[in-house]
Amino acid sequence: MWESETKSVRGREYGNGVLSSNKHGVKTDGFELRGQSWYVATDIPSDLLVQVGDVNFHLHKYPMLSRSGKVNRLIYESNNPDLNKIALEYLPGGPEAFELAAKFCYGIAVDLTAGNISGLRCAAEYLEMTEDLDEGNLIFKTEAFLSYVVLSSWRDSILVLKSCEKLSPWAENLQIVRRCSESIAWKACANPKGIKWAYTRKPSKASSPKWNDLKDSSPSRSQPVPPDWWFEDVSILRTDHFVRVITAIKVKGMRFELIGASIMHYAAKWLPGLIKDGQGQGPADDMSISTNSNSSGGTGSSSWKGGLHMIVAGTKEDTPSIQAKDQRMIIESLVSIIPPQKDSVSCSFLLRLLRMANMLKVAPALVTELEKRVGMQFEQATLADLLIPSYNKSETMYDVDLVQRLLEHFLVQEQTESSSPSRPPFSDKHMYEGTQRSNNPNAKMRVARLVDSYLTEVSRDRNLSLTKFQVLAEALPESARTCDDGLYRAIDSYLKAHPTLSEHERKRLCRVMDCQKLSIDACMHAAQNERLPLRIVVQVLFSEQVKISNALANSTLKDPVETQYQPLIPNHKTLLEATPLSFQEGWAAAKKDINTLKFELESVKAKYLELQNDMENLQRQFEKMSKQKQTSAWTNGWKKLSKLTKMTAVENHDIGPQIPTTAEQTRKTPRRWRNSIS
């Protein structure tokens, strides 16, 4: 990364990075290590044994008591002046920091570096090496080195913050973490044109192309400095320290796009599964991720062995539960610092993060927040990112309920933006532009195509219920789909995977589709699809006939300008010849199917009339037979007499006009009298 952190900083003005005490009581040539014990190289025998962890230090009381208030108090408060053994169990920095502090007490020169300053500063605080005991004591000198040397350097600020990982809570209480975070934030927000310090350069293909075209990436010296120059250096930090740095950067006013890109870079480095599950998506995919990525920049970072990276990347000693716990912590931390603006991170990154959050059982509140963020930019999603497995006890292979919730969040966001006033809700211009970009009317159409593709993919699952399919298909308004070919493809795929559906269920399934929005190719396929209900096939053929008729009628209406150069089509035959061959074939097939259906309908009508006539004949015969059974001999005789009477009356009627009888004259005489009276 940079030059080795073990090198001294003698080139600096502050004391050449070397600490030494002006006075000491024991002349020594240094310390000697024998096994697990340190000895002072002097002829004076040791009278104080200090235990720090597993290491013993054979020292002298006077140098230690004159500099350390902690040692002084432990000895004199024990009421045992002859006490020659003490234990410092909770010394921050461990034996390494105490060795440096002890050398300082003996007046031995100590080289201060960015790698040991934080541990030495915390150890000095623990040992109470204040100015009350000696002027220019260790606390004063380490504070001066931190303030004047470390915080003025990008490299040293990163190294010191990295070394604070093992010094909690001392580094927090002494404000070392806060001061280093703010120093890093100030330098990260600096104009790239004015950057003079060294930083880790990523491979050429690993730089985010999205940020190379920004205005701040103008050349500096011989090579331009990209706006994301600080990503690689900050990504080596532990998650809680990274959160502190990003929070400080937000306060300084950095663009939310760069903050989001740094979060994506960090997630790609510490969550290997994020890249494995979603290769080829987002700028983070181009970044080289490996367990040795911390040592790729130079010898300075090769000594950073501990920390979060060893936990997350995993070793043979780590258990899966520990890895899952730490990865869950990383996801929860990153979700909490993602900028609220819409385009701060890509939708693909959010979906992959959501997949890992569901797999690792992240807190439900953060999962809901992630779902809302995905809903804000759902039109940017891809089918591969939406195919999230179902990690709960659901029977379906993919989490269809999750996609349903994402779609609902998208529709709520669209409705909120459409009803919001035209005035920008935020003072930041970039924030407003990123938020209002989703008001594009094509957003719903893109989401509709995405949902149709998703339905086609998940419809192959035999455990997917008809209700879930129907609810997801009908979630979008009708205006979102200008063409229902994708929806028809999903319905056909569902019918293939579920051949046991009843006629009612198939009609219910096809009800989500509008036959008038199908293309010619889809109509031709539907007309020959045996899985569709007959009623749907008839609707498809009818709508296609109407469309073709309208197309033929509209094709005769030409532009007035074109009519000056092209004559009108004279007849129907020429009109058909002018249409494409595929159009004619589609019309011929549709017309043939319609004629076939008409012929079948006429045949059914003829059979119905024939059956009706047969039924009437049977009824007449039945009535005739029933009447014959009811007649007897007496009735037949009376019928014959009535017939004879009728025949006699008819004959008399024929002779009557010529020779009237006496009885008729007698009856007619009083009638004429009555008529004359009236």
Q: What is the pLDDT of residue 632?
A: 54
- What's the whole-number average pLDDT of the chain? 75
Question: Which residues lie closer than 8 Å to 592 by C-beta, 6 or more apart?
Answer: none
Q: What is the pLDDT of residue 408?
A: 94
Question: Residue 378 pLDDT more than 80?
Answer: yes
Q: Mapping DSSP to helix (H, G, I), strand (E, B) and coil, where does residue 552 land?
A: helix
Q: Are 225 and 309 in contact (CB under 8 A)?
A: no
Question: Residue 671 pLDDT more than 90?
Answer: no
Question: Residue 353 pLDDT more than 90?
Answer: yes
How distant, in Å, are the alpha carbons of 65, 66, 106, 535 from that of 25? 11, 9, 7, 106
| Exposure string for 366-381, b = 16+ CB within 10 A, e = fewer | bbeebbbbbbbbbbbb
Q: What is the pLDDT of residue 584?
A: 54
Q: What is the pLDDT of residue 196?
A: 65
Rg (C-alpha) for the chain, rounded Å, is 48
Question: Residue 285 pLDDT more than 90?
Answer: no
More confident residue, 190 or 157: 157
**Two structure tokens written together for 509:** 């399934």
Lowest-confidence segment of 199-213, 217-231, 272-286, 663-677 by average pLDDT? 663-677
Residue 100: name the closest of 21, 35, 22, 45 by CA.
21
Tell me the residue ranges of DSSP E strands in 205-311. Answer: 219-220, 223-224
Question: Residue 217 pLDDT more than 50?
Answer: no
Question: Residue 439 pLDDT more than 70?
Answer: no
Question: Which residues lie closer than 8 Å to 635 by C-beta, 6 or more apart?
Answer: none
- What's the CA gap between 117 and 143, in Å, rounded? 9
- What's the CA gap between 211 and 225, in Å, rounded? 11
Question: Residue 563 pLDDT more than 80?
Answer: no
Q: What is the pLDDT of residue 5?
A: 37
Q: What is the pLDDT of residue 557?
A: 60
Question: Residue 387 pLDDT more than 90?
Answer: yes
Average pLDDT over residues 629-654: 57
- What's the CA gap between 475 and 660, in Å, rounded? 98
Looking at domain 30-152, does it have CATH number 3.40.50.1220? no
Locate the domains of the chain by residue range: 30-152, 393-417+441-554
Question: Residue 81 pLDDT more than 60?
Answer: yes
Handedness of CA 314, 315, 320, 323 (dihedral sign): negative
Lowest-confidence segment of 102-116, 421-435, 442-456 by average pLDDT? 421-435
- What's the CA gap between 339 and 428, in Å, rounded? 13
154, burial (CB in 10 Å: exposed 0-12, middle 13-18, buried 19+): buried
Secondary structure letter of residue 570 according to DSSP: -
Q: How confident is the model at residue 645 (pLDDT cuts 50, 70, 90)?
A: low
Helix 256-270 and helix 320-337, axial crossing angle in degrees, nearest 10: 180
- What's the CA gap between 344 and 389, in Å, rounded? 26
AA letter at 309: H
Whose tokens are 């009888």? That residue is 661
SS3 readout for 73-139: HHHHCCCCCCCCEEECCCCCCHHHHHHHHHHHHCCCCEECCCCCHHHHHHHHHHCCCCCCCCCCCHH
Q: How confident is the model at residue 319 (pLDDT cuts 50, 70, 90)?
A: low
Q: What is the pLDDT of residue 585?
A: 61
Beta bridge partners of 149: none
Secondary structure letter of residue 334 according to DSSP: H
